[in-house]
Structure 1
Amino acid sequence: MSARIVFVTGTGTEVGKTVTTAAVAAAALRAGLRVAVLKPGQTGVAPGEAGDVEEVARLAGGPLTLRELSRYPEPLAPDTAARRAGLPYLAAEDVARAVAELADRHDLVLVEGAGGLLVRYDGQGRTLADQAQAVRGLGLPAEVLLVATAGLGTLNTTALTAEALAARGLPLLGVVVGAWPRSPGLADRCNLADLPRAAAAPLLGALPERAAGAEDFPAVAAASLAPGLYGRWDAAGFTAEHGAG
């Protein structure tokens, strides 16, 4: 059986991609899977500092394979950060090869992008979507998980991302709310029903706000993700309890 490969992208920056990646990794580890986490392009982190993959490992709390392909010190889009630092761009083909290598030895490979789906990684304007297409070009079953915000404005960016994926023939696995607020407003509650419609894909989880500070993050992950992401969260029940119709 081939490994499952999931590219994790967001509707923008600071939406909870790293915490969501960690949650999926934690839930998969609890399910007994061998998990690898790949960060193709890490920006805004100096050499020797902990990056996103180290944060995933800290939160997931289990034996993960971690890999980072390139690192750029300034917190910019990867292509801009690489150009300004005088460092090589990251090619989609290199990402695909790294994913294929990890897929040979793991049950689940999580690939966390930088920013949103169409943030550029190289001088040719290739993006996380191009990396996922390169993986699929190797005959591997890559799919995309979208992390969205809960509140006002999220439906437009969710729909745009879903359309971009569909135009490229990339399957959208579903949507996870990266930080469900402790005191949700009307837009947050309405969006529980509206997000899956905007994405034309299921709602697969809602991680609580400040989940990264939880004493038992793996338990929170399992309670906040749907069975499709190795948890026990029930979208219909959560929407009925917290939604606004």
Structure 2
Amino acid sequence: MEIVFVSGTGTEVGKTYVAQQLAVAKRSAGVRVGVYKPVASGCIRQPRNSETNSATPVAPLVSSDAVALWEAAGRPLNLDAVCPQRFEASVAPDEAARRSGQRVDVDQLTRGADRWRDHCDTLIIEGAGGLLSPIADDLLNIDLFGQFQDAELYLVAANRLGVIHEVVATCRAAALSQVSVSRLYLSATGPTADESSPSNAEQIRRWLPELDVREVGWGQVDWSRGLL
């Protein structure tokens, strides 16, 4: 099973959108795709239905990111398999868990990925927040990535003023942990680009010449042009 770990330079940078479109592109190429978000915060409660695969009488928490990934992958398995740990507060997962009187199950973060082994050729894992954001007590996203042997790390960054610093700082921090970023997706943040957007990719390539930099346009749908 090929594993692709999608992380970001921070929150709200287009990470879920890129992961969605990766799933769509893989499916279009005839690949069986699995999607996995090990833990999510900021979840909402909605009436229980058969698709959530939950037996509890209390309305379950649902991650909108997990739903988007699941739909993009063609609804494989169920939402509990996509995102087994869900918390309500819109803060980092470890803090969201504490506020609900729980803790993130560190073992389940990786164990949940094993559930997909017989059900996909490629598993797309989306982390929570940025690459150096906490995902559990004493565990950052970059630490979780390191637990998936032979996984590729794809970084997503918002193509706007300031992104050069964000990408260079994240990649250099990763290198200090002996982690290599395989690919960067510069994601448009709106229909109108700011003045820095046209030159950001070139600037990043100058500072990080080994990095595979790809640009994602606003509302881009033709993912045959360089997504995979």
Distance between the aligned counterparts of 2:125 and 2:65, measured in 1?
11
Query: Number of paired residues?
Result: 209
Equivalent position to 1:183, from 192, 199, 205: 192
Q: RMSD of aligned C-alpha atoms? A: 2.1
Counterpart of 1:113 in structure 2 is 127
SS in 2 for 1:129: helix
Counterpart of 2:94 in structure 1 is 79
Counterpart of 1:243 in structure 2 is none
Gaps of 5+ in 1: 212-219, 230-245
Distance between the aligned counterparts of 1:7 and 1:186, measured in 2?
30
The structure with more helix, counted as a fraction of residues = 1
Distance between the aligned counterparts of 1:181 and 1:223, measured in 2?
21
**Fraction of identical pairs, as percent:** 29
Deviation for aligned residue 1:107: 1.3
SS in 1 for 2:3: strand
SS in 2 for 1:113: strand
Q: Give 1:59-138 correspondences, 5 Å limit.
A: 60=72, 62-65=74-77, 67-91=82-106, 93-124=107-138, 126-136=139-149
SS in 2 for 1:86: coil
SS in 1 for 2:182: strand
Contact 2:8 2:156 in 1 (8 A): yes
Distance between the aligned counterparts of 2:183 and 2:191, measured in 1?
23
Distance between the aligned counterparts of 1:24 and 1:160, measured in 2?
25
SS in 1 for 2:44: coil
Gaps of 5+ in 2: 47-61
Q: Amino acid of the residue matched to residue 62 of structure 1?
A: G
TM-score, scaled relative to structure 1? 0.77
Contact 2:23 2:73 in 1 (8 A): no
Distance between the aligned counterparts of 2:70 and 2:115, measured in 1?
20
SS in 2 for 1:121: strand
Deviation for aligned residue 1:123: 2.3
SS in 2 for 1:15: coil
Counterpart of 2:158 in structure 1 is 149
Cα separation, partners in 2 of 1:159 and 1:104, compared to 1, 3 Å:
farther
Distance between the aligned counterparts of 1:120 and 1:61, measured in 2?
26
